[in-house]
Amino acid sequence: MRTGITNLPLHGGKAPYWLFEKMKRLSREIMLFISSEFGPEEFLNRISDPLWFQALGCVLGFDWHSSGVTTTVCGALKEAAKGIEDDIGFYIAGGKGGTSRKTPSEIIAAAEKESRDFENLVYSSKIVAKVDSTALQDGYQLYHHCFFFTKNGKKWAVIQQGMNEDAKYARRYQWLSDKVESFVCEPHNAISCDITSEVLNLIAAESNDARKIITQISEQKPEKTIAELQKINALLEKSITYPKRHYIKLSDMEINRLSKIFQSTYERKPENFEKLIAMPGVGPKTVRSLALISELIYSTPYSIEDPVRFSFAHGGKDGIPYPVDNDTYNKSIDILHNALKESKIGLNDKVNAIKRLALFYG
């Protein structure tokens, strides 16, 4: 099931080393937190949602909308997950460029560690990439493929991205294994493309899979074809296109929600979560950051309708909406880490305080 498509402008550059290290540390705590509170399956639900993924990229301080958010966030998650798979309950394979081609071998390595047969996962990874590169020929060449899967192999999610150098845009495709009935019917759920020529060459040999799909659709009952078209409409509504400009306009954000955050951090007193913010130096900025993180963790993924405002948690690498605030970033990591650590020994005050922040600012 493809969960959505996101169009992102191609931006040069990469995350500086110091920021990527912070992204890894915060990613680790967020993965541990969600898996501990809701289970690994829920993390895969969320990571496959385009809006939640975008919000995560903003919270991690990378960029609010560029193509690099896909590769950098996935890279940070994969690095952060190494060695803690037993704790978070899932593996992450693949990545950008040549690393994406190692996905099958990384899945097999996980299968050996878990003493399981993951050949079905290897096939799922390959066919999803094939669908978004062969069956769907929209002018975007895949260069990134990241495969998330639970330790028992029963659930998986895919985040992959293609590039169109002429259009100066990248396109992210996200998938979730839930309710997959056929790989060759679902690809049409969210085809969204603003290129009007040379999109799909049905004569070319590499389009054999696409020809088979068309044949299968032509043999379906009309009711089933109509049902597929209805799915297309539903997913097209979830397709997102971000502007090429770097700066954030007020129209990019849901102002009422953002205003609520600023007003709350200004007016609310910390007595309800005093123990959480008792450490020296924790002030409104830290509270605002934790409030956004807590919403990311505790709110349902489909309520994350305004990813841009999550960039106000720690700032962004390009200085938008402001330069990354190192002190606040470090405090966020420490507070999440200590809260989860204490909850494991029965001290849940800090976790409950973070949970209440989601209610305050959600």
- Digit-coded pLDDT (tens) for 323-352: 888 888 888 888 888 888 888 767 777 777
What value does the mean pLDDT take over residues 309-333? 81
One domain for residues 103 and 180: yes
Give pLDDT tens digits for 13-64. Answer: 678 899 999 999 999 999 999 999 999 999 999 999 888 998 898 888 877 6
Confidence of residue 270 (pLDDT cuts 50, 70, 90): very low
What value does the mean pLDDT take over residues 248-258? 53
pLDDT at 268: 45
> Residue 118 forms beta bridges with which residues?
none
pLDDT at 193: 37
Name the average pLDDT for the chain.
75
What value does the mean pLDDT take over residues 269-273? 44
Quote the distance between the C-alpha of residue 349 and its chain's center: 29
pLDDT at 265: 44
pLDDT at 202: 35
pLDDT at 152: 97
One domain for residues 195 and 266: no
* Domain end residue (candidates: 191, 213, 241): 241
What value does the mean pLDDT take over residues 260-277? 46
For the cut 60, the answer to whether the pLDDT of residue 191 exceeds it is no
* Domain end residue (candidates: 224, 241, 258): 241
One domain for residues 228 and 275: no
One domain for residues 217 and 331: no
**Which strands form 2-9's sheet, in the order they lie side by side?**
90-96, 141-150, 156-164, 169-176, 2-9, 240-241
One domain for residues 70 and 168: yes
| 63/301: higher pLDDT | 63
Q: Which residue segment(s) compose the domain that 42 sits in? A: 2-241
Confidence of residue 74 (pLDDT cuts 50, 70, 90): very high
pLDDT at 220: 59
* Domain end residue (candidates: 175, 206, 241): 241
One domain for residues 210 and 304: no
Counted domains in the chain: 2
pLDDT at 95: 96
Low-confidence winner among 71-85, 308-322, 328-342 (lowest mean pLDDT): 308-322
Handedness of CA 130, 1, 176, 198 (dihedral sign): positive
One domain for residues 147 and 213: yes
One domain for residues 67 and 190: yes
CA distances from 353 to 117, 274, 344, 349 (A): 41, 9, 15, 6
State how far the Cα of 121 lies from the Cα of 147, in Å rounded to an integer: 9
One domain for residues 259 and 228: no
Give pLDDT tens digits for 96-124. Answer: 999 999 999 999 999 999 999 999 999 99
One domain for residues 169 and 52: yes
Q: Helix 349-361 crosses helix 326-343 at what angle (to 10 degrees)?
A: 130
Closest by Cα among 82, 83, 33, 36 to 56: 33
DSSP state, residue 282: -
pLDDT at 131: 74
Overall pTM surpassing 0.85 (yes/no) = no
User: Averaging pLDDT over each range in 94-108, 155-169, 183-197, 268-282, which range is the top one?
Assistant: 94-108
One domain for residues 224 and 312: no
pLDDT at 28: 95
One domain for residues 16 and 98: yes
| Helix, strand, coil tally for the chain in percent (to 5) | 55, 15, 30
